[in-house]
Amino acid sequence: MAKNIGIDLGTTNSCISYLEGRDALIVPNPEGARVIPSVLAQTHDKKRIFGNAAKRQMITNSKNTIWGIKRLIGRKFNSPEIKEIGKRVGYDIVEAENGDIKIKLAEKLYSTEEISGMFLTYLKNIAENYLGEAIGDTVITVPAFFNDAQRQATKVAGEIAGLNVTRIINEPTAALISYGQKIKKNGLYAVYDLGGGTFDISIVEVNGDIYKVVSTLGDTFLGGSDFDAQVCDWIFHEVERESTVDLRDSKDIVQRVIQIAEKAKIELSFDQETLISIPYLHHFSDGSNYHFQKKLTRPQLESFTMDFIDRSVDLIKSSLGDINVKPEQIERIILVGGQSRMPVIYQKLSEYFGKPPDIQINPEEAVAQGAALQAEIIKGKVRDLLLLDVTPLSLGVETKGDTFTKIIERNATIPTKKTMVFTTITDNQTTVKIQVLQGERATASGNKSLGFFNLVGIPQTLKGIPQIDVTFEIDANGIVRASAQDKATGLTQSMKIQPSSGLSPEEIETIIQDAQKYEEKDKMELRLTRDKLQLKEEWETVKFYYQRYIEKLSPHDSAEIDALITRTEKALEGKDVELLETLLNKMKSYRIMINSILTAEFSK
C-alpha cells in the first residue's frame, strides 16, 4: 500500500513527513538527520550526491554544488534577484534562449525545474527506503507569496521526480494545520514564516474546523541567506581593512565564508558573542598567509540585519491593514522557519503585538508535518478540516494605455472564478489579445506577465460593440486558467497559463525520462549508504565485545568472528551492496550470540 507524504521543499533545508495514526512523523535521512540540506552536487568522478554529503564538499567543489535553487525557480535571468544570487553562489547561472535561467552542472545546462526535480527524487527515495513502501500522493509546500510561474515550476519539479503532486500548499497555512491541535480558541492567528530564502505573513481566521486565510503578504527574496550575506560582507570588509585585499571575486572563498557566516549567525541565537576564525584565508605573493580571527557580537549582527527585520514588520502592518485588524486582535503569533528563532525577532514581534509569539512547534518541521496532514485530509483519512487559502497577488489583463485591470483581487479565497466583460478598441477588430498579468502595480508593464492568448474570429463591427467575457479561474494549488468568449458568436478560447518562463510539455516529458534513468542509480546509492552505516555500527559493537571477551568464546567462534571483522573492514571500503547485506546479517547473528554468551556468563 502506497504511503502519502508531505514535503517542505526549503531554500536552505527540506523536510519529509508522513502520518502514522494521527501523528505526523518525520522521515530522517540515512544519517538520521530530520532536516536535509537543500544541496546537490556532482563530484569529480561524476557521482551525484545530495544533502549533507553535498554540503560538506561545497568549498572544494563550489562550481558543481547547487544550493538556494528555490530562490531561482520561476525567475527570468535579467531579474535583479538573479544578479544578486550570482554574486553569492559558486556555480554558474546562464541565460537560456527564452530568457529563462539555466544552471551549469558538470558542463551541462539544466533548468531550475530539473535541478529541483533531482533533489525531490532524492527525497522520494529517502522516504521509500525508510518507509519500506512506494510513495503515493504528495503535497509540496511553497511560500505563500510565490507567483503562478513559481508554483507551476514547483509542480513540474514534482512531476520530474515521479511524484503524484495532489496539492501545492502555502507554507504558513501548512504550519497552522500542524499547529491546529494546540488551537483551543477561535479567532485570528498570525503565522510569521521567515525561512532560509523567503518571508511570508499570513493571517488566518480559525472557526472550529474551518481555517480561512484572510490576508497574506510576503517577500520571496527575504530570508536567512540574506542575514548570512550581511555577516559575509562584514567579514570581507574587515579583511580588506586589515590586509587591503578584496576577496569577494573568489567564488571558492565566498563559499567558505558563507558557511562560516551561517554558523556564526546560528551561534549568536544562543550566545552574546562568537569567535570567527578562518585560517589561511589568503596567501600573499611573498609566501605569507592571512588568518582571519575576530569576535562578532549579537548586537553587531542585529545592527547588520535590522533592515530585514523591519521589512518583515512592515509587511505584517500592511497585511493587518488590508483587513482592518489591529495587532491586539491577534489571538496568537506562530513562528515558522529557522531564521524566526533569532532573539531580536522574538523581541520585535512581542513589542508589536503586545504578547510573546508562540514557539511550541518545531520551526523546521511544522511545515512538512502540515503538508502530510493535508495529504491525508485530501484523501479523507483524517479529521474534517476545511482549509480556505487565498491568492497572494491580484490577477488581471492589460488594457488600453498600459493599464492593469484587475479581475481577481489579491487575498481572494481560492479556488475561485471570476468574469469581467471587455470590448474592442478599434473598428472592425477581429482579434483580441488577452495578456494575463499578476501583481499590484497600476501599469501593466510593471506586473508579472504569465502569458497571453488570442481570441480570433470576432465579427467586424464598430469598436465598443462586441462583448467579450474574460474569465479567470484559480485552482486549489493557486494555478491559473484563463478563457475568453465572444458573447455574440459563442466563440471561446481558453488556456491553462503556460508561463512566459517555464518548460514546454515536450521538454518536461524528456526530462522525466532522463530522471528515471538516474532514479535506480540514486536508490542504489541510498541503499549503499544505509547498509554501510548499519554494518559499521554492528561491526564496531562486535569488535568491541570480541576484543574484550575473546577468552569466553570457543576457538571456532573466535576464528569465525576474527575473519568476519577483517572481511567487513575491507567490504566497508567497497560498493558491493549484496556483500554488505550478507555481512550485516552475519554480524547481527554473531552479536546476538556474543550477547547470549555474556548474559549466561554474568548471570552465574
- Are 323 and 346 members of one domain? yes
What is the C-alpha to C-alpha distance for residues 393 and 442, in angstroms, rounded to an integer? 13
Q: Which of 128, 148, 193, 364 is catalytic?
A: 193
How much is the average pLDDT of 346-353?
98
pLDDT band for position 174 (cuts 50, 70, 90): very high
CA–CA distances in Å: residue 361 to residues 176, 180, 333, 357: 10, 11, 12, 11
What is the C-alpha to C-alpha distance for residues 148 and 125, in angstroms, rounded to an integer? 28
Strand order across the beta sheet in which 395-399 lies? 403-408, 395-399, 431-438, 448-456
What is the C-alpha to C-alpha distance for residues 406 and 480, in angstroms, rounded to an integer? 14
pLDDT band for position 516 (cuts 50, 70, 90): low
- Are 45 and 93 members of one domain? yes
Indicate the range of 413-422, 447-456, 519-528, 564-573 predicted with least confidence.
Answer: 519-528
Task: Report the candidate in 3, 17, 50 with the shortest Cα–Cα distance to residue 519.
Answer: 50
Higher pLDDT, 383 or 67: 67
Residue 598 has pLDDT above 80, yes or no: no
Q: Which of 3, 70, 76, 586 is catalytic?
A: 70
Residue 403 has pLDDT above 70, yes or no: yes
Find the CATH number of the domain harbouring 574: 1.20.1270
- Are 68 and 188 members of one domain? yes
Asked if the structure places residue 508 within a domain, the reply is: no
Please enumerate, as own/partner, the contacts of 555-563 that have beta carbons within 8 Å and a separation of 24 or more.
557/590, 557/593, 560/590, 561/590, 561/594
Residue 501 has pLDDT above 50, yes or no: no
Find the CATH number of the domain harbouring 462: 2.60.34.10
Domain that holds residue 252: 224-305
Residues 6+ apart with CB under 8 A from 469: 419, 420, 421, 484, 485, 487
Find the CATH number of the domain harbouring 215: 3.30.420.40
Last residue of a domain, one of 439, 470, 496: 496
Find the CATH number of the domain harbouring 281: 3.90.640.10
- Are 347 and 365 members of one domain? yes
Asked if the structure places residue 381 within a domain, the reply is: yes
Residue 588 DSSP one-character state:
H
Last residue of a domain, one of 496, 524, 553: 496
Q: Per residue in 224-248, pLDDT tens?
A: 999 999 999 999 999 999 988 999 9
pTM of the model: 0.79
- Are 125 and 241 members of one domain? no
Give me the phi and psi of 273, to 5 degrees please. -150, 160
Identify the helix (H) or strand (E) that includes residue 542: helix 505-549
162 close to 29: Cβ distance less than 8 angstroms = no
What is the C-alpha to C-alpha distance for residues 343 and 174, in angstroms, rounded to an integer? 24
pLDDT band for position 104 (cuts 50, 70, 90): very high
395 close to 408: Cβ distance less than 8 angstroms = yes
Helix ranges, 331-407 (H) = 343-353, 366-379
What is the C-alpha to C-alpha distance for residues 51 and 41, in angstroms, rounded to an integer? 9
Asked if the structure places residue 501 within a domain, the reply is: no
- Are 321 and 276 members of one domain? no
Neighbour-count burial of 263, counting CB atoms closer than 10 A to its CB (0-12 exposed, 13-18 middle, 19+ buried): middle
Q: How big is the CA angle at 102 (ends 524 and 109), to the nearest 5 degrees?
A: 50
Residue 505 has pLDDT above 70, yes or no: no
Last residue of a domain, one of 305, 322, 352: 305
- Are 259 and 353 members of one domain? no
What is the C-alpha to C-alpha distance for residues 137 and 418, in angstroms, rounded to an integer? 30
106 close to 42: Cβ distance less than 8 angstroms = yes
- Are 179 and 163 members of one domain? yes
Share of residues in the chain with pLDDT > 70 (%): 94
Higher pLDDT, 462 or 550: 462
| CA 119 and chain centroid, separation | 10
- Are 491 and 410 members of one domain? yes
171 is catalytic: yes
| C-alpha cell at position 552 | 569466553
- Are 91 and 199 members of one domain? yes
469 is catalytic: no
Q: How big is the CA angle at 111 (ends 107 and 117), to the nearest 5 degrees?
A: 105
What number of residues does the chain have? 604
What is the C-alpha to C-alpha distance for residues 13 and 1, in angstroms, rounded to an integer? 29
State the total domains in the chain. 4
Asked if the structure places residue 475 within a domain, the reply is: yes
Asked if the structure places residue 34 within a domain, the reply is: yes
Asked if the structure places residue 505 within a domain, the reply is: no
Residue reference for cell 491559473: 480
Asked if the structure places residue 506 within a domain, the reply is: no
519 is catalytic: no
- Are 157 and 184 members of one domain? yes
Q: Per residue in 305-321, pLDDT tens?
A: 999 999 999 999 999 99
- Are 288 and 344 members of one domain? no
Q: How much is the mean pLDDT over the chain? A: 89
Question: 297: which strand partners?
Answer: 273
Beta strands in 210-323 (DSSP E): 210-219, 273-283, 289-297
Asked if the structure places residue 147 within a domain, the reply is: yes
